[in-house]
Amino acid sequence: MLNLNQLFQNINIDVKKTTTIEELDQIKIKYLGKKGILTNYIKNLKNFSLKDKKKYSVIINHSKKEVINNINKHSKYLMTIKLEKRIKQEKIDISLPGRRFENGCLHPITQTINYIKNFFFKLGFQSINGPEIEDEYHNFDALNIPKNHPARDCHDTFWFDTNRLLRTQTSNMQIRIMKEEKPPMRFIFPGKVYRNDYDITHTPMFHQIEGLIVDKNITFSNLKWIIYNFLYDFFGKTVSIKFRPSYFPFTVPSAEVDIIKKDTLQSLEILGCGMVHPNVLKNVNIDWNIYSACAFGIGIERMTMLRYEICDIRSFFENDIRFLNQFKYN
């Protein structure tokens, strides 16, 4: 009997000592498991006399219930502690600001192209993309730039073979579209062009938007009207526009346009334009006695440089995220 009391005391002490559910489980197994100490004790009762069996069974059952009660209580206690610990560990500070999503943005050149397209869409122009790998005929010959013409020199062409090349200008599209469509027509042709040139104002690949209007009675004043309205829309009235007589084999008369920023006096040549040369109209079978045409070619990088006061054209293609991020909210 003394032994038995001692045993129950030990169980209760051991139970109390446990600090985790896992430890408590071990104690349960130690005393109440299949081969547990108390279980063995109960098994041994069968060797007792009937009278003792009865007497001890009552005591053991009573104490066993108490032990199980204690274990359950302690288990609940340990569970609460475990939960409190978890809550403390996993506490989140809902006042912390959330993680920001890093949004990308369109490249500044794409933004400029989109802006310019929208301007011309409002005037009823259609936008068409053309091939960057071109032949000599569309890039030069049909544009009144025959072989050995000095104008070819300033294009620093990338040739694939004696006929194929990377187009040096979007003017190739004038030929392609005038051959396909019947006047009247109003088109813009945005795209990449290539010249073997590399310095602070030149990169081997850059972008142009070509414009073409073919109709009856198109004159230089129509061209000027469009160019002025377009440039004032793009830059605002803070710029001076300078029309300078120039020479292009495929237009006559021809002009180049410089933009001068009134505040910084930064100045850049940003487009060439003119009345499409009768030879070009002949090449595409448009009767130049009935129709006339004007055209212009805008340098996208230069437009963007002036607008945002960028002084090195190469910044556009270096993929420096610090540069590109500045165009996020335009």
The residues binding ligand DAH (CB under 6 A) are 169, 171, 210, 248, 251, 254, 272-274, 295-297
Cβ 248 to ligand DAH shortest distance, Å:
4
Q: Of 136 and 210, which has the nearer Cβ to ligand DAH?
A: 210
What 3 state SS string does the chain have? CHHHHHHHHHHHHHHHHCCCHHHHHHHHHHHHCCCCHHHHHHHHHHHCCHHHHHHHHHHHHHHHHHHHHHHHHHHHHHHHHHHHHHHHHCCCCCCCCCCCCCCCCCCHHHHHHHHHHHHHHHCCCEECCCCCEEEHHHHCHHHCCCCCCHHHHHHCCCECCCCEEECCCCCHHHHHHHHHCCCCEEEEEEEEEECCCCECCECCEEEEEEEEEEECCCCHHHHHHHHHHHHHHHHCCCEEEEEEEEEECCEEEEEEEEEEECCCCCEEEEEEEEEECHHHHHHCCCCCCCCEEEEEEEEHHHHHHHHHCCCCHHHHHCCCHHHHHHHCCC
For ligand DAH, the closer CB: 31 or 140: 140
Taking the least distance from each CB to ligand DAH, the nearer of 191 and 297 is 297
Q: Smallest distance, Å, CB 95 to ligand DAH?
A: 58
Q: Residue 272 Cβ, how far from ligand DAH at the closest point, in Å?
A: 3
- CB-based contacts of 10-15 (< 8 A; 24+ apart in sequence): 11/38, 11/67, 11/70, 12/67, 12/70, 15/67, 15/70, 15/71, 15/74
Residue 297 CB, nearest distance to ligand DAH (Å)?
3
What is the pairing mode between strands 164-166 and 185-194?
Answer: unpaired
Smallest gap from residue 288 Cβ to ligand DAH (A): 15
Amino acid sitting at position 5: N
Residue 233 CB, nearest approach to ligand DAH (Å):
19
Nearer to ligand DAH, 187 or 296 (CB): 296
Shortest Cβ distance from residue 169 to ligand DAH (Å)?
4
The residue (of 220 and 327) whose beta carbon lies closer to ligand DAH is 220
Residue 298 Cβ, how far from ligand DAH at the closest point, in Å?
Answer: 8
Half-sphere exposure of 249 (CA within 13 A, CB side): 19
Residues 6+ apart with CB under 8 A from 26: 18
Please say which residue, 14 or 141, places its beta carbon nearer to ligand DAH: 141
Nearest approach, Cβ of residue 210 and ligand DAH (Å): 5
Between 38 and 218, whose beta carbon lies closer to ligand DAH?
Answer: 218
Shorter beta-carbon distance to ligand DAH: residue 171 or 283 = 171
Nearer to ligand DAH, 130 or 274 (CB): 274
